[in-house]
């Protein structure tokens, strides 16, 4: 599953990086190309937002499963059922955010906010240095 996350998320990150790089050089392009690059940036940002929203939803569903196991009165069950419920609980206690690069990048709302801060910092840097 980790390689699937990498295959679905890495192209979006690469596209956003390239799109940010193109945003820095808009004044050297014709108006139609500028609009095309801006629309491309918004679509890539929207798709990244969608993936991160799905990651948050996945973790929320995991929290619901964890709470359901806590509230199930599993200590009154048979020993075999207790063992099964303990395995489910052990698996449900870890956060289930989508991640890639062996867990180095967790797709959470904080990641998206940090990404936007980096983009705007890059654009402001380019503007202050006279490239925009």
Q: Provide the residue range defining the domain that includes 26.
A: 2-128
Question: How much is the pLDDT for 1?
Answer: 47
In the predicted structure, residue 30 carries a pLDDT above the cut 80: yes
Q: What pLDDT, on the 0 to 100 scale, is given for residue 76?
A: 84
pLDDT at position 54 over 60? yes
Give the integer Cα–Cα distance in Å for 34 and 27. 8
Quick check: 5 pLDDT over 80? no
Q: What is the pLDDT of residue 74?
A: 80
Q: Which of 16, 12, 14 is nearest to 119 (CA)?
A: 16
Say which residues have a Cβ less than 8 Å from residue 48's Cβ, sequence separation at least 6: 12, 13, 16, 112, 115
Based on the structure, what is the number of domains in the chain? 1
Angle between helices 2-23 and 31-70 in degrees, nearest 10 = 150
């Amino acid at each position: 599953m980790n390689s699937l996350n990498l295959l679905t998320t890495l192209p979006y990150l690469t596209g956003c990086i390239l799109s940010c790089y193109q945003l820095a050089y808009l004044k050297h392009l014709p108006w139609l190309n500028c609009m095309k690059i801006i629309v491309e940036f918004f679509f890539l940002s929207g798709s990244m937002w969608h993936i991160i929203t799905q990651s948050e939803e996945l973790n929320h569903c995991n929290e619901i499963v964890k709470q359901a196991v806590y509230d199930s009165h599993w200590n009154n069950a048979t020993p075999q059922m207790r063992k099964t419920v303990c395995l489910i609980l052990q698996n449900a206690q870890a956060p289930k955010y989508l991640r890639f690069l062996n867990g180095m990048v967790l797709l959470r709302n904080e990641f998206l906010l940090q990404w936007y801060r980096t983009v705007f910092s890059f654009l402001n840097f380019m503007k202050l240095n006279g490239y925009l």
